[in-house]
Amino acid sequence: MIVPRIPKGAGTGAIRKQWAAAEVDKSWEESAWALGRARSARRRELTDFERFKVMRLRKQVSFEFWCWVGFFEIVGRGGAIWVWNGKGSDQDL
Protein backbone atom coordinates (compact mmCIF):
# COMPACT_ATOMS: atom_id res chain seq x y z
CA MET A 1 0.00 0.00 0.00
CA ILE A 2 1.58 3.17 -1.18
CA VAL A 3 0.37 6.69 -0.52
CA PRO A 4 1.64 8.83 -3.40
CA ARG A 5 2.65 12.49 -3.34
CA ILE A 6 3.49 13.00 0.32
CA PRO A 7 5.94 15.87 0.66
CA LYS A 8 8.86 15.71 3.06
CA GLY A 9 7.99 17.05 6.48
CA ALA A 10 4.24 16.68 5.95
CA GLY A 11 2.17 16.91 9.11
CA THR A 12 -0.34 14.36 10.32
CA GLY A 13 -3.26 16.29 8.82
CA ALA A 14 -1.80 16.17 5.31
CA ILE A 15 -0.90 12.51 5.70
CA ARG A 16 -4.43 11.67 6.91
CA LYS A 17 -5.94 13.39 3.87
CA GLN A 18 -3.66 11.51 1.47
CA TRP A 19 -4.31 8.26 3.38
CA ALA A 20 -8.08 8.70 3.01
CA ALA A 21 -7.78 9.74 -0.65
CA ALA A 22 -5.70 6.65 -1.45
CA GLU A 23 -8.20 4.42 0.43
CA VAL A 24 -5.39 2.62 2.22
CA ASP A 25 -7.71 1.15 4.89
CA LYS A 26 -9.95 -0.40 2.23
CA SER A 27 -7.04 -1.91 0.31
CA TRP A 28 -5.54 -3.23 3.57
CA GLU A 29 -8.79 -4.97 4.57
CA GLU A 30 -8.89 -6.71 1.16
CA SER A 31 -5.26 -7.83 1.27
CA ALA A 32 -4.32 -11.45 1.85
CA TRP A 33 -2.18 -10.49 4.81
CA ALA A 34 -5.08 -8.77 6.62
CA LEU A 35 -7.45 -11.63 5.83
CA GLY A 36 -4.93 -14.12 7.21
CA ARG A 37 -4.50 -12.09 10.39
CA ALA A 38 -8.27 -11.93 10.85
CA ARG A 39 -8.56 -15.68 10.27
CA SER A 40 -5.83 -16.45 12.79
CA ALA A 41 -7.40 -14.07 15.33
CA ARG A 42 -10.72 -15.87 14.91
CA ARG A 43 -9.01 -19.26 15.29
CA ARG A 44 -7.37 -18.11 18.55
CA GLU A 45 -10.82 -17.35 19.99
CA LEU A 46 -12.28 -20.80 19.22
CA THR A 47 -13.34 -23.13 21.99
CA ASP A 48 -12.28 -26.77 22.07
CA PHE A 49 -15.59 -27.88 20.59
CA GLU A 50 -15.38 -25.31 17.78
CA ARG A 51 -11.84 -26.49 16.97
CA PHE A 52 -13.17 -30.04 16.89
CA LYS A 53 -15.92 -29.00 14.44
CA VAL A 54 -13.34 -27.29 12.21
CA MET A 55 -11.22 -30.46 12.21
CA ARG A 56 -14.22 -32.62 11.27
CA LEU A 57 -15.20 -30.26 8.44
CA ARG A 58 -11.66 -30.26 7.07
CA LYS A 59 -11.56 -34.06 7.15
CA GLN A 60 -14.92 -34.21 5.37
CA VAL A 61 -13.75 -31.86 2.63
CA SER A 62 -10.59 -33.92 2.16
CA PHE A 63 -12.57 -37.15 2.01
CA GLU A 64 -15.04 -35.74 -0.54
CA PHE A 65 -12.13 -34.53 -2.68
CA TRP A 66 -10.46 -37.97 -2.72
CA CYS A 67 -13.80 -39.62 -3.51
CA TRP A 68 -14.20 -37.19 -6.41
CA VAL A 69 -10.68 -37.97 -7.63
CA GLY A 70 -11.55 -41.67 -7.48
CA PHE A 71 -9.20 -42.95 -4.79
CA PHE A 72 -12.00 -43.83 -2.35
CA GLU A 73 -15.57 -44.97 -2.72
CA ILE A 74 -18.38 -45.02 -0.20
CA VAL A 75 -19.63 -48.50 0.64
CA GLY A 76 -22.38 -49.49 3.04
CA ARG A 77 -25.58 -48.08 4.41
CA GLY A 78 -25.55 -44.35 4.97
CA GLY A 79 -21.97 -44.00 3.76
CA ALA A 80 -20.62 -45.00 7.14
CA ILE A 81 -17.93 -47.23 5.65
CA TRP A 82 -15.47 -46.22 2.94
CA VAL A 83 -12.69 -48.16 1.29
CA TRP A 84 -9.76 -47.48 -0.97
CA ASN A 85 -10.75 -48.67 -4.41
CA GLY A 86 -7.19 -49.56 -5.48
CA LYS A 87 -7.07 -46.96 -8.24
CA GLY A 88 -4.18 -44.60 -8.65
CA SER A 89 -0.99 -44.05 -6.77
CA ASP A 90 1.11 -41.11 -5.65
CA GLN A 91 2.46 -40.74 -9.19
CA ASP A 92 -1.08 -40.18 -10.57
CA LEU A 93 -1.44 -36.97 -8.62
Task: State the pLDDT at residue 67.
Answer: 79
Whether 3 and 24 map to the same domain: the answer is yes
Rounded mean pLDDT of the chain?
Answer: 82
Please, are residues 74 and 86 in contact by the beta-carbon 8 Å criterion?
no
Domain that holds residue 25: 1-45
Whether 55 and 15 map to the same domain: the answer is no
Whether 4 and 36 map to the same domain: the answer is yes
Whether 89 and 56 map to the same domain: the answer is yes
Question: What's the structural domain count of the chain?
Answer: 2
Whether 13 and 35 map to the same domain: the answer is yes
Query: Average of pLDDT values for 69-93?
Result: 60
Whether 41 and 54 map to the same domain: the answer is no
pLDDT of 29-63, one tens digit each?
A: 999 999 999 999 998 999 999 999 999 999 989 88
Whether 28 and 54 map to the same domain: the answer is no
Whether 41 and 56 map to the same domain: the answer is no
Q: Which region holds residue 89: left if phi is over 0, alpha if psi is between -120 and 50, else beta? A: beta
Q: How many helices (H) and strands (E) does the chain have?
A: 4, 2
Give the pLDDT band (50/70/90) at residue 81. low
Whether 54 and 69 map to the same domain: the answer is yes
Whether 40 and 57 map to the same domain: the answer is no
d(CA 87, CA 44): 39
